[in-house]
Amino acid sequence: MWSYLAKRIAIGVPTLWVIITVCFFLMRLTPGGPFDAEAPIPDEILANLRARYQLDDPLWQQYFTYIWNLLQGDFGPSFKYRDFTVTELIVQGFPISLQNGLSALMLAIFIGVPMGVAAALSQNSARDYIVSAVSMTGIVFPNFVMGHILILVFGVLLKDTIFNLPAGGWGDGGLAYRVLPVITLSLPFIAYVARISRGSMIEAMRSNYVLTARAKGLPFRVVVMRHAMKAAMTPVVTYLGPATAFILTGSMVVETIFQIPGIGRYFVQGALNRDYTLVMGVTILSASLIILMNLFVDLLYGVLDPKVRYDDQH
């Protein structure tokens, strides 16, 4: 397994470098700059700002300077949040995105998987049709629509009831401020996990080894939990790998709607303001998480599927 890990790391490092390189040049080649949206300022001050952030250097020199600083763990200063570095903004925003993301991920797993399994075990029944309809509804409705619906219902219509919830902001970070964002973030993932679980469980229940186990007289519960469940979870784990990275780095739409100071909202503001270093920092974090989660998923295959082996001799 160690040789497999070494190979994956050897592939992951250049992959991350390619992502960094492409994003760096795309950001620099996009029309506009970090100081264009501000009120008109004298050319002398603009020249000083560009010199301060080394934007007047040749593009190739900016690139190698950025890579060198990155190797030292320095993401650079933010062009818009001038009292903060990108590292400080990520340190502030990532815990908030992480809390909401983990909560949404737990909901997706503990609600979506049972829904899908229950539907698969009652295929073509009323339960199956209800789960399929609910899942499709969750997929069809985008986050920005569902978020505003929840704000309208719980933040406006139920404002004077016990079901009133904050319509936005982070406040003291209490539970009340998390409920609507977490629900909005989790609903599409619950729907996808439920549909994937349903399809994979139906396929697993029709496989030869499960049919053999049932023919031997094993209790239905044992057949499902010990034999079919592992095989059925492989597609779910495959989906949850990159999905987890997306959730943990914060949904840009959800954090923008609810005005949550997570890194997803920082990414949106950085893109709008041409804050090169902030966008690059969030992109690097997201790409790193996706690479790591895909590696974790590949290793987890060996637990779920006995046929998968990562022996060093192979």
- Residue-wise pLDDT for 78-97, tens only, equals 888 878 899 999 999 888 98
Higher pLDDT, 116 or 160: 116
Percent of the chain with pLDDT over 70: 94
Two structure tokens written together for 250: 């914060």
Domains of the chain with CATH codes: 1-314 (1.10.3720.10)
Contact 135, 248 (CB under 8 A): no
Task: Flag whether pLDDT at 5 surpasses 80.
Answer: no
CA–CA separation, 167 vs 175, rounded Å?
13
Which residues, other chains included, contact 286 with Cβ-Cβ below 8 Å and sequence gap of 6+?
245, 246, 249
- The Cβ-side half-sphere exposure at 35, using a 13 Å CA radius, reads 17
The pLDDT of residue 251: 76
The pLDDT of residue 57: 83
Task: Flag whether pLDDT at 161 surpasses 70.
Answer: yes
CA–CA separation, 51 vs 17, rounded Å?
26
Mean pLDDT confidence for 117-126: 91
Q: How confident is the model at residue 306 (pLDDT cuts 50, 70, 90)?
A: low
Q: How confident is the model at residue 311 (pLDDT cuts 50, 70, 90)?
A: low
Task: Flag whether pLDDT at 312 surpasses 60.
Answer: no
Contact 95, 170 (CB under 8 A): no
CA–CA separation, 115 vs 128, rounded Å?
9
Q: H or E element: which one contains 24?
A: helix 2-29
